[in-house]
Every structure is written in structure tokens, then in C-alpha cells.
Amino acid sequence: MVGTPTYRRIHHHRSETQWVLISPKRTLLALVWIVGFSLLFTWQRNTINGILLFRRNVPRVIPKLRPYVFNLTDFGGVGDGLSMNTKAFEKAVLEISKLGKKGGGQLNVQNGNWVTAPFNLTSHMTLFLAEDAVILGADDEKLWPLMPPLPSYGSGREQPGPRYGSLIHGQNLTDVVITGHNGTIDGQGKAWWNKFKPEASQTYKGSLNTDYL
């Protein structure tokens, strides 16, 4: 028996690529949008950078905290990191000491590096360190006065004998403020600590730590 052949219809699907034509008007609008967005982004970035740069370049205003305000430069101070400013500090403190009954005085230490030997404060005084102002202790030990040892140091804590005075000193004072805009008081104590050895020195080291106000 001969079988009857079966015929099947095979469908072939041919994929066709359709091209979508964009009108010149739409292309132009897209380019304008892209360019406009880029310009806006660049403008915003430059504006923000300009504001930050402006803020960095504008010094912070020193507030008036006392009825009478002085700058260290009023008394001949020079913040070049080389000139000695002890006399300027002493003159300023002397002037402020006369203002106790009038609310006291404020001494501004402006931006710069102000080298000085130890000096005393006075009552009713505010010492204000501006931003980037640095008070540097003189590295010549001959400029540091010797003072009797303090009982609070305790027996046997350090060598017996006198000690060097603190960079900024005061005794029996009232209403004294040391503040500022992150200024620095740097006693330059590294050389002192390296020099100090119990077997080589009979002198106390003063308070020469670095403080940030």
C-alpha cells in the first residue's frame, strides 16, 4: 500500500527594518535643549565655586566684645613671623588696664604670625585672635622670665628650682577672656621638650602647649 504524501504550507517571515525619519525641526530642538542644559550646568557650577571662593577670601568680622577695642598693630605690632611683638603686647595691656571701671578693653590679634616673649594680661580684658592669627612664643630662652616653682606641681614631679613663666600669664585677675576665630597660641614647645632632661636642667619648663581658640 502506497501512502499518500502529505503537503504542508511553510510560511517564511522576512524581517524588515523600518527607518523613522526625524524632521529637521525636532533635531534642532533637541540640540538646543542639550546645549541649554550644558550651559545651565556650567553656570551653576561656576556660581557655586565663585561663592565658595568669595567666602574664603572675605575675612570674618571681629565682633566688638568690650566698650573699647584695640588692634595689636595700633601699638606697633608686626605679624611677619620675625619681628618681636613683646613691647606691643605690653603697651596694649597697659592701655587696657586703665579701662577697668569703663568695662575693660579688647585686644585684637589680626591675621599673621606674631612672635613674642611672655607677657601678662590684665583684668577686664578680652584677647581676641582673628582667623589665621598665630601668637608664637619666642624660641630664645633668655627672653623667658624665671619664676618660683608652683606648689601645685607637687614634690618630685619635676626638678627642684625655678621655672620659666607661661607665654601668656596673669595673677589675681578677674574678668579675663581669651577667644577668637580659630586662632592659634603656639608656644613652640618642641625645642623646649627636646632640650629638657632631668639630668641636664634644674629649671621647670613653662606651659608651652599649643592651644586653638
The answer on pLDDT for 94 being more than 60 is yes
Question: Is 127 in the same domain as 97?
Answer: yes
2 domain-assigned: no
- Whether 11 maps to a domain, the answer reads no
| Residue 92, pLDDT above cutoff 90 | yes
pLDDT at residue 25 is higher than 50: yes
Q: Is the pLDDT of residue 210 over 50?
A: no
In a domain, 169, yes or no: yes
pLDDT above 90 coverage of the chain, percent: 46
Judge if 88 and 191 occupy the same domain: yes
Whether the CB-CB separation of 88 and 117 falls below 8 Å is answered with no
Q: Is the pLDDT of residue 194 over 80?
A: no
Q: Are residues 104 and 200 part of one domain? A: yes
Closest CA to 95 of 111, 72, 118: 72
The verdict on 113 and 182 lying in the same domain is: yes
Question: Which residues span the domain enclosing 27?
Answer: 21-58
Lowest mean pLDDT among 11-25, 32-46, 117-131, 179-193: 11-25
Q: Is residue 27 part of a domain?
A: yes
Higher local confidence (pLDDT), 212 or 34: 34
How many separate domains does the chain show?
2
Is residue 16 included in any domain, yes or no?
Answer: no
Edge-to-edge strand list for the sheet holding 211-212: 80-84, 112-116, 133-137, 184-186, 211-212
Q: State the CATH number of the domain containing residue 141.
A: 2.160.20.10
Do residues 183 and 207 share a domain?
yes
Distance CA 82, CA 110 (A): 16
* Percent residues over pLDDT 70 in the chain: 69
> Is residue 76 domain-shared with residue 136, that is, in the same domain?
yes
Question: Which amino acid, one-letter code, is at 182?
Answer: N
pLDDT for 136-170, tens place per residue?
A: 999 898 999 888 776 665 544 556 667 788 899 99
Asked whether residue 49 carries a pLDDT value surpassing 80, the answer given is no
- Please give the Cα distance from 64 to 48 (Å, whole number): 31
Distance (Å, whole) CA 150 – CA 6: 121
Cα gap 164→192, rounded to integer Å: 11
pLDDT for 71? 98
Distance CA 83, CA 1 (A): 126
Task: Give CA–CA dist 186/154, Å, rounded.
Answer: 26
Q: Going by DSSP bridges, is the β-strand pair 112-116/119-120 parallel, antiparallel, or unpaired? A: unpaired
Determine the Cα–Cα distance for residues 93 and 78; give it in Å rounded to an integer: 16
Count CA atoms closer than 13 A to 157's CA, side-chain side: 10
